[in-house]
Structure 1
């Protein structure tokens, strides 16, 4: 018989139990406690009204964590799960209904799982690893909007190809003098949320970013490729970006191989990333240069 379940706001003392629940629910996506804290609690302003747990007398049986972007009127489900043995009792639906109600109070019009642009624990739902997830979300009215892929390349036998930079462009290891240019490029031409990723990585790396930059004829930053910037894993590749004014010159491929070379020299057995848009120019470039897909996700959305 199922124990009585109560629902309440998450409190700071729940963090350890919630982390252990994550480990049991998502074994294919292991995180250290530090990485978990970084992604869930350090990704920007926290609204604890969007952090909810379901409890029995013995344990936390379920959890749902959300984030709201009022500017885009979008809510994000960062993490939802119910412990095995407590499923099919309406716990997940109750947690999701609660978050939907809180989102409506904040004039949120659309909910996404997961795809949180600041930081995500997983990019989306891996239906192969977690087959109960997709029917659950579909029963709540969510539909699949996109299918990002996660890719990797082993580095034990990797040998960077000859990849000369075009014209007056040069490839160099990141140095302090490049930080402002990288941040400006992220904000003005690439992804503004990468500004925070690079800032945090620079501070974590004792005033350094691990990777390479491409410099233009005037020594301006025209592109960059980093690794080990998110979490504690130096094998994790990204972000990578090229000034759109300089695309079509094979700078992206040169940055990619410059970064892979750095990872191999640092002793990384592989390089991987968690999110690339299926069929995109970037994913085609990775495939052409030796990466292969190890996980296919689904980004799900629902209008409120």
Structure 2
């Protein structure tokens, strides 16, 4: 039997999640924060499969009801952020039934395409990890999803970290040219959020704002300025209060090629080491982007690859 979300289902869904998505377990607090308290959550988009009162399958479909910035609701787009079926009930058509109902919900909201699972702000993973969940990847292909792009997650141990002398030289050169590198001040916060929103994307500005509201120390946000104007920033510990999680991080395109990103990255890693953080990681970049090359040159290694999948539904 299929039905939509009811109070109390969260317990069964979290239990099912931890039985099925074994590489990415969660707890009820994280489910509450990222699903139930999401401004875009609609109980009608959470479909479960039930057998004898037991939840044996679940899927979450999302359409935007609160814009990330301005009035943009992305009305042509929907997202599926997770799906799962208990191993004992696989190959019974439950996954397909859940997917059909999720797509029907998204189509009914007016969307013309659906992504798995690049939803901001509350994605769990950027996409499907083909290595960790091969059956899930094959299921999406069978359901008509196609790979859009493949972001990677990276990690760097900090146990042996030392601020590189070569980067100290670059920092000094830029400072002699009028650039400054410092921790964010209260008066800088509106400017750095606006910079993240407009130069990069609204999810980055949201991450800064919510990280500060949730109590991270402002010294966990590093900014680069040119004549008092913010031209780059780096942050850590802002997502879910996880100290080891690095990002967001970026430098204005007009300032590329001057080593500003390299300096900001090392300033952030050094700050993390000062706090006895033993490693830095993040979920989402492209290995072929300028940021990806910078990470690889500075000790980060790729530890997971994801596929963002998309399907036309109109």
Quickly name the TM-score band, shorter chain normalised. Answer: over 0.9
Q: How does 1:281-300 map to 2 (within 5 A)?
A: 281-300=290-309
Matched with 1:119 is 122
SS at the partner of 1:193? helix
Among residues 133, 136, 156, which one is paired with 2:136 in the alignment? 133
The answer to whether the aligner puts 1:196 opposite 2:199 as a matched pair is: no
Matched with 2:238 is 229
Matched with 1:215 is 225
SS at the partner of 2:190? helix
SS at the partner of 2:178? coil
Answer yes or no: is the 8 Å Cα contact 1:201–1:209 preserved in 2: no
Answer yes or no: is the 8 Å Cα contact 1:209–1:229 preserved in 2: no
- Tell me the distance in 2 between the aligned counterparts of 1:273 and 1:192: 18
Matched with 1:244 is 253
SS at the partner of 1:132? helix
Answer yes or no: is the 8 Å Cα contact 2:75–2:110 preserved in 1: no
Mind listing any 5+ residue stretches in structure 1 that lack a counterpart? 1-5
TM-score (norm 1): 0.92
In terms of fraction of residues, the more helix-rich structure is: 2
The answer to whether the aligner puts 1:67 opposite 2:62 as a matched pair is: yes
- Higher deviation after alignment, 97-106 or 70-79: 70-79
Answer yes or no: is the 8 Å Cα contact 1:147–1:278 preserved in 2: no
- Tell me the distance in 2 between the aligned counterparts of 1:29 and 1:269: 21
* Structure 1 residue 206 displacement after superposition: 5.9
TM-score (norm 2): 0.90
SS at the partner of 1:202? helix
Mind listing any 5+ residue stretches in structure 2 that lack a counterpart? 65-72
Matched with 1:93 is 96
- Tell me the distance in 1 between the aligned counterparts of 2:122 and 2:231: 25
* Structure 1 residue 96 displacement after superposition: 0.6
- Tell me the distance in 2 between the aligned counterparts of 1:86 and 1:205: 43
Matched with 1:3 is none
Matched with 2:179 is 169
1:132-187 deviations in Å (ceiling 9; x for gaps): 11110111111111111100000000112132332211111233222111111012
Change in 2 beyond 3 A, CA 1:42/1:241: farther
* Structure 1 residue 41 displacement after superposition: 3.1
- Tell me the distance in 2 between the aligned counterparts of 1:12 and 1:269: 39
RMSD of aligned residue pairs (Cα, Å): 1.7
